[in-house]
Structure 1
Amino acid sequence: MRFRSEEPADRQDIHRLTMRAFADPDSEKEPGEAALLAELYECEGYLPEYSVVAEIGGRVVGHAIATRGWLDGDIPLLGLGPLSVDPAHQRRGVGVGLMAEIRDRAARDGERAIVLLGHIEYYNRLGYEPAIPNGIIPSDPSWGEYFMVLNLSEMPLPKGNFRYAEPFGV
């Protein structure tokens, strides 16, 4: 498996991948994650170095993106998501590898922390912990313990209200 930065030529493959990863078998409606991803590419918070694909045999089988978010409007953090893995390659380490690649890039670049909204057991094993007890408050309080943070620094996490990139709408 190879991880690399997404290139504009990958976007159609990433879109199809995201559609498959988040498809609802009971609906023909486009998954919200696919539309969100298209908006993230165009927003001010888009950071190309944190849009990463996983390839196997030259084929894109996974994608993850982290965009610029803000704590109290002036402390930059990364907001991760969506994370998409082709259904045929799920539970084979693609998602974990993508998460590690983004974490390593962010740590190398001196980012303070990554926040995300996700499955507690899955992300907890990757070092994420609930953000609210750490003083990082989501824009939607109903997220509760599903709003998680990974501290990338030896310094204590800053505290405040977090806001994702504009396309998230919260």
Structure 2
Amino acid sequence: MTARPVVALWVVGWVVVAVAGATLAWGVISRAGGGVSGGLDTVSEPPGVARTPTDTATDTATGRTRSPSPTTAAPSPSSGDGGSTETPVSRTWQGQAGVVSASCRGGAITLDSAIAYSGYLLERDDVGPDRVRVEFETDDSRIRVEAECVDGEPVFSEDRSGEG
């Protein structure tokens, strides 16, 4: 008759250890998982960038990169020779899909930053020096933004396709 209480104690002990171990494991996994994504699954807009009411806070695909806030600088006097001593002139394009910032130094253009709003994938097709081309895509639309230096300043154009 003493065997039953011993077996019961072993079973209760095993259940307590199993529950405690599972709880500890799930706690560790939960904390580690929160730190692994580091916010890469969502893209937030930089300070000062207004969102339109049609933008939604849906998850974005992994692989998107967040860039520093784009800035717009006033043109500065330059020597006109296209040399590297010129101060770059920056301009920014903003649309429903995101923000693109580029700088011209003489005739060479450079992509400063590209930020996709939530719900859009971002692809950097060309980052200079002849032109900048960035595409924002969803399942049913594509917005291509291009920029070239004209008179030492970035000039943007956009092409939309698949929107209805």
Task: Tell me if both proteins adopt one fold, taking TM over 0.5 as the criterion.
Answer: no
- Compute the TM-score of the two structures, normalised by the length of structure 2: 0.30
Q: Say which structure, 1 or 2, has more relative contact order (CA 8 Å, 6+ apart).
A: 1
- Compute the TM-score of the two structures, normalised by the length of structure 1: 0.29
More helix by share: 1
